[in-house]
Structure 1
Amino acid sequence: MHTIWKGTISFGLVNIPIKLHAATEDKDIKLRSLHKKCHSPIQYEKICPVCGEEVEAGDIVKGYEITKGKFVVLEQDKLEDLRKTTEEKAVEIMDFIDMREIDPIYFNRSYYMSPNEGGVKAYGLLRKALTESKKVGLARIVMRSKEQLAVIRVFENTLLMETIHYPDEVRNSADVPNVPADDEVSKKEIETAILLIDQLTTSFEPEKYTDEYRSSLMELIESKRTGKDLVTAKVKVPENNVTDLMAALQASIDRTQPAKKMAKRTKKPAAKTKAKEA
């Protein structure tokens, strides 16, 4: 499993060398955008809307928009210094809490944690302590130049870190439009709804749930792999330098032809003068 981060977990005076591995993966089927005419993949270039020029990566700077159209430009070296100051390569457990106190809306991404060299015993200690106490660790970590809150818990005998949103990153539910203030339903309707819920209640078995759209899309793709529905993107023909050279030579010839004609016309009167003298 690919390692995406290395560092340590610290709680109290205990430090555990660990590695992070992505616990989930995106299974979305990626569809390319093609030119309908020739089925070539469409390219997306970074073009300056004012200069009309394609912008290289080295010509791009970071900026924060203060007001519409006005930016504060931040130098890359200053951003790097700030990142190094805050990024200590450590997952610092600040508190231990009950997992049930965290609403699922706060959860973001999940990462498996494995012990790095010399951290096996301490890794097992934290895992056992979390299991016995039925608590989770609330930690702070800097990843990808962003300080994040995270929950460290045990998942199937493996330590799992789940990044969570800060409170100001969760939008206020009171701002959701058209939410009724009161439930205008009868007692009979509530009882019927609860009865239906009871009948559909079961234990969670994630294996029985599948992405039906993705499966159907893959079946459609497989059915089109052979036959007339399979298209080939056209390849851009490189410019022929020989043709360009010939065109340039021909243009040069055409440009010199009027000068030659003028030179011939100029020489004829001189020949007549010599004949008279003779």
Structure 2
Amino acid sequence: MDILQRIIKDKRQEVQFRKGLIPFSQLEQSVLFGRATVSMCERLKNSASGIIAEYKRRSPSKAVINQDANVFDVAKGYEKAGACGMSVLTDGKYFGGSLDDLLLARASCGLPLLRKEFIIDEFQIVEAKAHGADVILLIAAVLSSEEIKQFSELAKSLGLEVLLEVHNQEELQKSLMPSLDLLGVNNRNLKTFEVSLETSKELSALIPDEFVKVSESGISNVEAIKILRGYGFSGFLMGENFMKTSSPGESAKEFMKQLEQ
């Protein structure tokens, strides 16, 4: 069993447990559930940087990245640096995150927030809305076409945008549908954790222009972004590059300065 299969197996158990604790109606009554969402698509289309800055404490591939950085301060720092949006890991077991991180980020900044999670149930989408997310992530590698349609249409009905993540041509072809907003190409192979920007380059021409193209993982320098822009990408999800420093917000600010030059 590879790491992705292990994560999904554990996630199914976790979601079943959470559903037994919290009814849908309770989530729908939360203060943030009725909040008007902020469009990450529009931010990316009108941005010079296209940076979606990520908050994550650890990952299966890198173990501990940063256990000290406070999500409230990091969110403020990312907004001040000029990021277009923020990605917040909410998986606990493998990434050290939680829905509280999403709430704190929401309280701290006005950026569009992506709930970065392994979504396998409608419950998690309602959770995302109730905790202040503007965008949800769907991973084609773990969902059928029918699930992608079902989940993305529910997200749209709640006012959330949908980032669909693919790793290869097969995943892309099964996933294209009108209820998606952003198409993300993950340059990291989720089975081996090897990273290559060639994945984004190869898939870029196959993504229709109506979707905002986002390149994810393995982006660590300004040159990579300039190259990927030439392939039609307007969004760049960056996490470890900022989070591995003592001040992720300052690190993001410095990176954006270099990008402007």
Same fold by TM-score, threshold 0.5 exceeded? no
Larger radius of gyration: 1
Higher relative contact order (CA 8 A, sep 6+): 2
Q: Which has the larger helix fraction?
A: 2
Q: Which has the larger strand fraction?
A: 1
TM-score normalized with structure 1 length: 0.17
